[in-house]
C-alpha cells in the first residue's frame, strides 16, 4: 500500500513504514520525521500537610494530561483541607498548547476548593509560551531561590510585571 489514504499527505506512508514494527507503532497521523514529542512525562506527587507538590519531568503535552489529572485528583480526594498545589516544573523540557491547556485544566479543577496553583521554577520552555498567551498571570509563580514571584512577578525573560498587578486590578 504505497498510496496515501484520505486525509493524508502523499509520502506519509514512507515515513511510517520503515519495516520496524516499533517505528510504525509510534508513528501516528501527526507524526513527522524526527518528531519525538508526546512521550508521557514522569509525574510524582508528595504531600506535606495541606500542600501538595507535583513534579513533572519530561514533556508537557497532551500525553501529560492523564498522569497529571490523576495525581491532582488523588491529592484532592485524599486531603480535603488541601490549600496549595505546587507544580514543580524545572524538569519540563518541552511544552506545547496542549500542555498549556493541561495547566489551565488543573487550575480549574482546584478552583472550587480554593486551592492555589503555583508554578515552581518554570523553565523558559514553560514560561515563555505562558507569557506570550497571557496565561502567565493566571498562576502564582515561585522561584525557589527568591520565594514567590506572584502571578504578576518578573518572568524569566526579564519582562517587567504590570504596574496594575495581576488580573488588571490595582495592587
pLDDT at 146: 54
Q: How confident is the model at residue 46 (pLDDT cuts 50, 70, 90)?
A: very high
pTM (whole model) above 0.85 = no
pLDDT at 39: 80
Least confident of 24-33, 57-66, 77-86: 24-33
Strand partners, 91: 57
Tens-place pLDDT, residues 100-123: 999 999 999 999 999 999 999 999
pLDDT at 38: 62
Position 81 pLDDT exceeds 90: yes
pLDDT at 153: 45
- The Cα 59–Cα 49 span in angstroms is 28
Domains and CATH numbers, the chain: 42-152 (3.30.750.24)
Residues 6+ apart with CB under 8 A from 150: 140, 141, 161, 166
Length of the chain: 171
Q: How confident is the model at residue 14 (pLDDT cuts 50, 70, 90)?
A: very low
- The Cα 110–Cα 116 span in angstroms is 7
Structure-model confidence comparison of residues 34 and 143, the more confident one: 143
pLDDT at 165: 41
Q: For the residues 37-55, what does the mean pLDDT come to?
A: 91
Scanning the structure block, which residue is given the C-alpha cell 518528531?
35
Position 11 pLDDT exceeds 90: no
Count of alpha carbons within 13 Å of 107, Cβ hemisphere only? 15
Amino acid at each position: 500500500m504505497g498510496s496515501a489514504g484520505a486525509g493524508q499527505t502523499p509520502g506519509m506512508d514512507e515515513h511510517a513504514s520503515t519495516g520496524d514494527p516499533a517505528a510504525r507503532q509510534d508513528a501516528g497521523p501527526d507524526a513527522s520525521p524526527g518528531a519525538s514529542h508526546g512521550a508521557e512525562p514522569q509525574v510524582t506527587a508528595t504531600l506535606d500537610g495541606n500542600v501538595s507538590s507535583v513534579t513533572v519531568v519530561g514533556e508537557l503535552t497532551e500525553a501529560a494530561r492523564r498522569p497529571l489529572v490523576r495525581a491532582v485528583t488523588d491529592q484532592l480526594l485524599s486531603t480535603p483541607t488541601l490549600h496549595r498545589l505546587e507544580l514543580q516544573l524545572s524538569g519540563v523540557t518541552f511544552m506545547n498548547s496542549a500542555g498549556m491547556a493541561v495547566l489551565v485544566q488543573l487550575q480549574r479543577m482546584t478552583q472550587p476548593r480554593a486551592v492555589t496553583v503555583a508554578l515552581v521554577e518554570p523553565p523558559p520552555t514553560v514560561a515563555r509560551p505562558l507569557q506570550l498567551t497571557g496565561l502567565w498571570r493566571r498562576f502564582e509563580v515561585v522561584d525557589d531561590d527568591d520565594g514567590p514571584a506572584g502571578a504578576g512577578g518578573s518572568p524569566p525573560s526579564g519582562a517587567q510585571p504590570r504596574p496594575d498587578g495581576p488580573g488588571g486590578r490595582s495592587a
